[in-house]
């Protein structure tokens, strides 16, 4: 019996030793290297990305990349597609990495290092998905122009149906033939009704029904968009019935066809940006856009109006912006805008400082407008504007201080300071507009040679005098 137990023990011990020997030998086997036929191996996948390859799909026929992942970076797109004709790293950077690794071509790119990417396809971000472009893996995204770039379907672009986040990076077009940004000669004339299509360029558009936001912060966005026709959605940076609650903050946005354009979005904040050298308007919330804040921006050298909200906009706040040297108006509200405010803006060297048409139940106050052109206007109200208040504005060295044009009524204009207005202020019949305080000296209103609070045409001075007697100098 004892011998039997000893025999079993020996067998068990031998079996265990054999298993341990097999396990240790497997650990010592050499690791198989990945295919070294390419310059780079796969980049390290982001931990945010599901392992399923189906969440990033490339359609060769459409030349489009669809992102269905909850969250992805460009590194993730590169890893899943591994198609250098669609998305790759700039050749100079590839060569630098190769040289730094003693020409060993089987090296990975550190995803934590900002890369310069070349995108030669359209990216479509699905509903519920998020693409992030930031310094974790991106220094600069260059979206390439395409050989047949006169047709929109062939233009590389980013279409957002989910969410897009761009932070502390650079996104532009790029022309590999010229080794420079893509340029276009697109233009509009006659208040935008006549268009002249130019060379097509990549663009970013947040589409109707997008489930998230397109937030762009602390970045440079440049040389995007072109004239594709009215309503084409190719303006450069556009929110088309999608992207409610988005934020544009701290960016340098320049050489876009439109610096910004929106249709029927709400709750957006545009602040602390520079918009300049736009092919047409600088900031253009449009058609039904509402509950938007535009503040602390610098808008200059655009080939059109600096900031304009047109066609059924409401609850728009434009405050503390600086605008100069735009070829159109500095700030404009047109075509049925209501319950909006323009305040505390500084405007210099503009044909019209503030121009409003069909503006209702709104306020224009505490703005400073300065110029040196005898033909320019400070503030213009016209074409059906009603029930607005214009007050405490400083207008200096300008052709006409405050001008009222056709079919306006029930506006209240008071306590504005107009200095060295060359043509005083012009007005057509008043239709119950009220000019309050007149020439009565009050606090912060200087009366003297060349200084006229609420100066109106000579024909209207009697109206103002009678109104002041009725209101006893109190604004109504």
* Minimum mean pLDDT range among 113-122, 268-277, 329-338, 446-455: 446-455
Higher pLDDT, 104 or 120: 120
361 and 320 in one domain? no
Kindly state the average pLDDT of the residues 266-281.
Answer: 96
378 and 324 in one domain? no
360 and 277 in one domain? no
What is the pLDDT of the chain when averaged over all its residues?
Answer: 79
Please give the Cα distance from 146 to 447 (Å, whole number): 62
For residues 266 and 244, the answer to whether their CB atoms sit within 8 Å is yes
Reply yes or no on whether the pLDDT at 177 is more than 80.
Answer: yes
Of 328, 346, 376, the last residue of a domain is 328
Expressed in angstroms, the distance from the first to the final Cα of the chain is 116
What is the reported pLDDT for 61?
A: 94
Half-sphere exposure at residue 140, Cβ-oriented, CA atoms within 13 angstroms: 12
What is the reported pLDDT for 266?
A: 97
* Sign of the alpha-carbon torsion through 432, 433, 436, 440: negative
Of 328, 345, 366, the last residue of a domain is 328
Residue identified by tokens 């400073």 is 368
**Torsion angle of the four alpha carbons 48, 252, 319, 428, in this order, in degrees rounded to the nearest 10:** -130
What is the reported pLDDT for 161?
A: 98
The enclosing domain of 231 has a CATH number of 2.160.20.10
Please give the Cα distance from 409 to 406 (Å, whole number): 9
293 and 169 in one domain? yes
406 and 315 in one domain? no
Please give the Cα distance from 46 to 319 (Å, whole number): 41
Of 279, 313, 328, the last residue of a domain is 328
386 and 323 in one domain? no
Return the ∠ at Cα 326 (arms to 311 and 339), rounded to 5°. 30
Reply yes or no on whether the pLDDT at 204 is more than 80.
Answer: yes
Say which DSSP state 28 is in. T
Kindly state the average pLDDT of the residues 216-244.
Answer: 92
* Sign of the alpha-carbon torsion through 45, 50, 51, 56: negative
Half-sphere exposure at residue 476, Cβ-oriented, CA atoms within 13 angstroms: 12
Phi-psi bin for 458: left (phi > 0), alpha (psi -120 to 50), beta? alpha
Please give the Cα distance from 448 to 175 (Å, whole number): 59
For residues 324 and 376, the answer to whether their CB atoms sit within 8 Å is no
200 and 315 in one domain? yes
Give the C-alpha distances (Å, rounded to integers) separating 17 from 13, 22, 278: 6, 9, 77
On whether residue 134 sits in a domain, the answer given is yes
Its pTM stands at: 0.79
On whether residue 466 sits in a domain, the answer given is yes
Kindly state the average pLDDT of the residues 45-73.
Answer: 80
Please give the Cα distance from 437 to 425 (Å, whole number): 16
Question: 123 lies in which domain range?
Answer: 53-328
Higher pLDDT, 11 or 46: 11
254 and 117 in one domain? yes
Please give the Cα distance from 396 to 370 (Å, whole number): 5
On whether residue 245 sits in a domain, the answer given is yes
For residues 353 and 328, the answer to whether their CB atoms sit within 8 Å is no
pLDDT band at residue 216 under the 50/70/90 scheme: very high
By DSSP bridging, strand 56-59 and strand 64-67 are antiparallel
Kindly state the average pLDDT of the residues 61-66.
Answer: 96
Residue identified by tokens 């998230």 is 212
For 303, the enclosing helix (H) or strand (E) is none
201 and 278 in one domain? yes
On whether residue 450 sits in a domain, the answer given is yes
Neighbour-count burial of 92, counting CB atoms closer than 10 A to its CB (0-12 exposed, 13-18 middle, 19+ buried): exposed
On whether residue 6 sits in a domain, the answer given is no
Please give the Cα distance from 241 to 238 (Å, whole number): 10
On whether residue 296 sits in a domain, the answer given is yes
What is the reported pLDDT for 101?
A: 52
Coil, helix or strand for 338?
strand
457 and 313 in one domain? no
Please give the Cα distance from 278 to 289 (Å, whole number): 21
On whether residue 12 sits in a domain, the answer given is no
284 and 393 in one domain? no
Count of positions (residues) in the chain: 476
382 and 312 in one domain? no
Please give the Cα distance from 121 to 126 (Å, whole number): 16
- The domain tally of the chain equals 2
On whether residue 27 sits in a domain, the answer given is no
Please give the Cα distance from 260 to 307 (Å, whole number): 10
DSSP notation for 366-413: S-EEE---TT-EEEEEESS-BS-EEES-EEEEESEEEEE-TT-BS-EE
For residues 403 and 426, the answer to whether their CB atoms sit within 8 Å is yes
Please give the Cα distance from 295 to 317 (Å, whole number): 8
pLDDT band at residue 197 under the 50/70/90 scheme: confident
């Amino acid at each position: 019996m004892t011998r039997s137990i000893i025999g079993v023990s020996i067998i068990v011990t031998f079996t265990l030793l054999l298993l341990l020997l097999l396990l240790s030998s497997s650990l010592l086997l050499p690791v198989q290297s990945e295919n070294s036929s390419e310059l780079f191996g796969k980049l390290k996948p982001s931990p945010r990305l599901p392992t399923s390859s189906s969440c990033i799909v490339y359609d060769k026929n459409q030349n489009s990349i669809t992102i269905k992942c909850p969250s992805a970076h460009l590194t993730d797109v590169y890893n899943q597609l591994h198609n250098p004709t669609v998305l790759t790293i700039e050749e100079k950077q590839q060569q630098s990495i190769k040289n730094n690794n003693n020409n060993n071509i089987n090296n990975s790119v550190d995803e934590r290092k900002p890369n310069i990417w070349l995108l030669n396809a359209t990216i479509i971000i699905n509903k519920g998905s998020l693409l992030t472009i930031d310094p974790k893996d991106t220094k600069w995204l260059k979206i390439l122009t395409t050989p047949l770039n006169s047709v929109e379907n062939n233009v590389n672009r980013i279409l957002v149906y989910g969410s897009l986040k761009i932070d502390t990076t650079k996104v532009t077009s790029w022309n590999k033939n010229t080794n420079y940004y893509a340029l276009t000669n697109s233009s509009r004339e006659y208040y935008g009704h006549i268009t002249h299509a130019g060379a097509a360029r990549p663009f970013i558009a947040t589409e109707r029904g997008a489930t998230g936001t397109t937030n762009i912060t602390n970045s440079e966005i440049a040389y995007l968009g072109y004239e594709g026709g009215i309503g084409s959605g190719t303006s450069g940076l556009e929110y088309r019935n999608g992207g409610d609650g988005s934020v544009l903050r701290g960016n340098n946005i320049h050489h876009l066809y439109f610096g910004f354009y929106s249709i029927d979005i709400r709750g957006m904040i545009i602040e602390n940006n520079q918009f300049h050298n736009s092919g047409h308007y600088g900031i253009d919330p449009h058609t039904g856009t509402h509950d938007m804040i535009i503040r602390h921006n610098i808008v200059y050298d655009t080939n059109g109006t600096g900031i304009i909200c047109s066609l059924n906009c409401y609850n728009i706040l434009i405050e503390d912006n600086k605008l100069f040297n735009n070829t159109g108006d500095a700030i404009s509200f047109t075509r049925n805008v209501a319950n909006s405010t323009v305040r505390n803006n500084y405007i210099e060297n503009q044909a019209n400082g503030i121009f409003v048409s069909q503006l209702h139940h709104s306020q224009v106050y505490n703005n400073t407008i300065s110029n040196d052109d005898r033909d320019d206007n400070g503030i213009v109200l016209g074409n059906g504007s009603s029930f607005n208040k214009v007050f405490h504005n400083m207008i200096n060295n300008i052709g006409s201080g405050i001008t009222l044009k056709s079919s306006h009524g029930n506006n209240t204009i008071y306590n504005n300071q107009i200095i060295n207005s060359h043509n005083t202020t012009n007005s057509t019949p008043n239709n119950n507009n009220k000019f309050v305080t007149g020439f009565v000296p009050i606090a912060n209103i200087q009366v003297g040679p060349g200084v006229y609070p609420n100066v109106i045409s000579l024909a209207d001075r009697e109206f103002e005098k009678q109104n002041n007697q009725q209101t006893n100098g109190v604004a109504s």
